[in-house]
Structure 1
Amino acid sequence: MALAPPTAMAEVVVRDAADREIALPDHASRIYAAGPPADVLLYTLKPEAMLGWVRAIPPNGRDLVLPATRDLPALGRLTGKGDTLNLEGLLAAQPQMILDYGNISPTYLDLSQRVTEQTGLPYLLLDGSFAKTPQTLRILGAALGVAERGETLGAQAEKIIADAEAMTAALGPDQRPKVYLARGPKGLESAAKGSIHSEIIERAGGINVAEGDSKSLLTVSPEQLHAWAPEIIITLDADFARNADLMPELAGIPAIENGRVYLAPQAPFGFIDAPPSVNRLLGLRWLSAKFHPDLAGEGLEADLRDFYRLFYQIELSDDQVKVLLGA
């Protein structure tokens, strides 16, 4: 299934997160994103190079991405849980390169090497850790021929991170709320400290109560959640947000008793993860306001508008702002 030998073209060489030198087509214009985090990264930097989405944009997010990208096909994912794309489908999309962004492990490295051997396509792996977001935006922007945009987004990412660090620097342990990230309709799936799915909780001045393997999602029992006694619950699931105070097995948990269960906005991409990509920058700002409204609550609406304008190239209407911040 190898591709025909490519015709001679200008190349740019990039050192990826696996410390490999990857030769990419200069100003690549047909890029396949291997998973949802790479989808968002590519959209923010060079949406015109997208071949499709891993998953189609849901109805509530269509007006929050550029019109030219709303109806791009759902191509399926090449990596991660629930991969849905085979190599025939990959080749049918006629990409010039593959982009992957997220956890770097031997599994992903092996996959990238196998895919390159079978297709002849360059496969770029980039580290999805939150701290490296500004660097990644600059590196990929330069590699894709949009260096100026990469620098602009990288500089804004640095500012968002620096602002959060400045806010949390003086907080004592007793000023940092205990936080639980609830996933699923029962809220019993979570992510431990250090996970790519939850790392912005502590950057926003909270303490993630979930203990366990930081490389994968956790299944949590109601008994364990009571023992952790979170003061704030952040959820990604609307059903859980609506019904948490009605679940007898969770009665008495401080966050639920005090009405501090917050549904994270999800459109066009999740604020916390879903996927864990550049969108987490906005999640950091939103979490800071939820955890410390006296320190970070002011200016959230303006920052939301600025982020959508700069990263997603969308001007939010007043109604859209209300929906997002009312979630």
Structure 2
Amino acid sequence: MKRRALLQALALAPLLAAGSGLMRAMPAQRVLRLGAPADTPKRVFAAGAPAAVLIAALAPERLLGWPMRVSPEALALLPAPLRALPVVGRLAGRGSTVSLERLLAMQPDLVLDAGDFDANYRSSAERVWRQTGIPIELVAGRLPDHPAQLRHVGRLLGVAARGEALAQAAEAQLALVREVLAARPADARPTVYYGRGGDGLESGLAGSINTEVIEFCGGRNVAAAAGNGCLARVSLEQLLAWDPDVILTQDAAFAASAPQDPRWRSLRAVRSGRLHCAPTLPFGWLDGPPGINRLPGLAWLLARLHPGAVPALAPGALHARIDALHRLLWGSRLPAGTVAALERGR
């Protein structure tokens, strides 16, 4: 090892030891910290899309840039500080699009990531931290984690009151899920297929974070029969054999074309009008990304999987609930197209 690299490694060793101690507490805390961030980080690099959405909702002025492209229609619904941000690339997961040199040049006070992270992911984060010295915070982001996640990151970014308000809103959404599922026996819950992409033939397998919201809301994911994993291609023949009660998508083109296709009309979900397209503005309500943007989607999805289960899912109450949450998250009213879809029960 070169002398300079050796000295850097020795200098970082005490901080790495502190981070490793937090890793041992990870099952309880659902947080991994590498390094010591400033008391209130001002410049925060979002390692991936879920973290970007989290920062955008909590402290938009702290976000350095988007790790993904955000459409003009989506940006129009977001607070002003977010509309002119550049696309800076992502550091999280496979296919990282930002180099360590570029990351250092942006001079972030903190790298934040949110979502799932396994041993390989932790190892990658440690490597980035060793090489850059930039503090890194990984915060778990499955649906049950969102209240604690919002409180934790709110405190971290110096917006504890905002974090608390959003955490309480998240808890109200999770409580609605529990209320609805208590009224729906497991054997009365519908089978569901989530069709991604323009042809609807990509889906999440058992345990996939991409289908977490479906299973969380009491839908029985038919693609779980294909095994555990993340995303996978599905044949139409396999889907015909599963013949789900409900089909969900976020692709408007697929949702419009499937009812016109004789092969898709062979599925009872399509014939019975239970192919539902979830809103995607400013971010997806089911996925895309799998972050706190899914919170409005919980009530929407409950109404489609368990119509009439509780009064809160009636059209007027549902619209009011989702609009209030949307305004709290993003400071804007629901788009007209989303309101019309809610009124149609689609």
Same fold (TM over 0.5): yes
Higher helix share: 2
**In the alignment, is residue 74 of structure 1 matched against residue 105 of structure 2?**
no
1:67-216 matches, cutoff 5 A = 67-211=80-224, 212-216=226-230
Any idea what SS the aligned residue of 2:36 has? strand
| Aligned equivalent of 1:255 | 269
CA distance in 2, matches of 1:324, 1:46: 29
| Aligned equivalent of 1:26 | 39
Using the TM superposition, give the Cα deviation of residue 246 of structure 1 relative to its aligned residue in structure 2, in angstroms.
3.2
Max Rg structure? 2
1:212-231 matches, cutoff 5 A = 212-231=226-245
Using the TM superposition, give the Cα deviation of residue 318 of structure 1 relative to its aligned residue in structure 2, in angstroms.
5.3
CA distance in 2, matches of 1:62, 1:147: 25
Matched-pair contact (CA < 8 Å) for 2:33–2:136: no
In the superposition, relative to structure 1, how do residues 213 and 103 fare at CA in structure 2: closer, same or farther (>3 Å)?
farther
| Aligned equivalent of 1:311 | 329
Deviations, residues 241-264 of structure 1 (Å, cap 9, x unaligned): 111123344341111121211111
Deviations, residues 254-281 of structure 1 (Å, cap 9, x unaligned): 1112121111111110000100000111
| Aligned equivalent of 1:297 | 314
Deviations, residues 191-241 of structure 1 (Å, cap 9, x unaligned): 123321111212223221112454411211111111111111111212211
Using the TM superposition, give the Cα deviation of residue 123 of structure 1 relative to its aligned residue in structure 2, in angstroms.
0.8
Identity level (%): 41
For residue 297 of structure 1, what is the amino acid of its counterpart? A
Q: Structure 2 length normalisation: TM-score? A: 0.85
More displaced 10-residue stretch of structure 1: 19-28 or 74-83: 19-28
Using the TM superposition, give the Cα deviation of residue 66 of structure 1 relative to its aligned residue in structure 2, in angstroms.
0.6
CA distance in 2, matches of 1:186, 1:317: 26
**In the alignment, is residue 284 of structure 1 matched against residue 298 of structure 2?**
yes
Listed as ranges, the gaps of 5+ residues in structure 2 are 12-18
CA distance in 2, matches of 1:320, 1:188: 25
Using the TM superposition, give the Cα deviation of residue 84 of structure 1 relative to its aligned residue in structure 2, in angstroms.
1.5
In the superposition, relative to structure 1, how do residues 323 and 59 fare at CA in structure 2: closer, same or farther (>3 Å)?
farther
Give the alignment's Cα RMSD to 1 decimal.
Answer: 2.5
Listed as ranges, the gaps of 5+ residues in structure 1 are 6-12
CA distance in 2, matches of 1:218, 1:297: 35
CA distance in 1, matches of 2:323, 2:106: 34
Deviations, residues 38-69 of structure 1 (Å, cap 9, x unaligned): 11111111111001111232022122101221
CA distance in 2, matches of 1:164, 1:49: 32
Any idea what SS the aligned residue of 2:308 has? helix
Choose from 70, 78, 81 the match for 1:57. 70
Q: Structure 1 length normalisation: TM-score? A: 0.90
CA distance in 1, matches of 2:245, 2:189: 10
Using the TM superposition, give the Cα deviation of residue 21 of structure 1 relative to its aligned residue in structure 2, in angstroms.
6.2
Alignment length (residue pairs): 320
CA distance in 1, matches of 2:43, 2:140: 21
CA distance in 2, matches of 1:290, 1:301: 13
Deviations, residues 165-194 of structure 1 (Å, cap 9, x unaligned): 111112123431111100011111001233
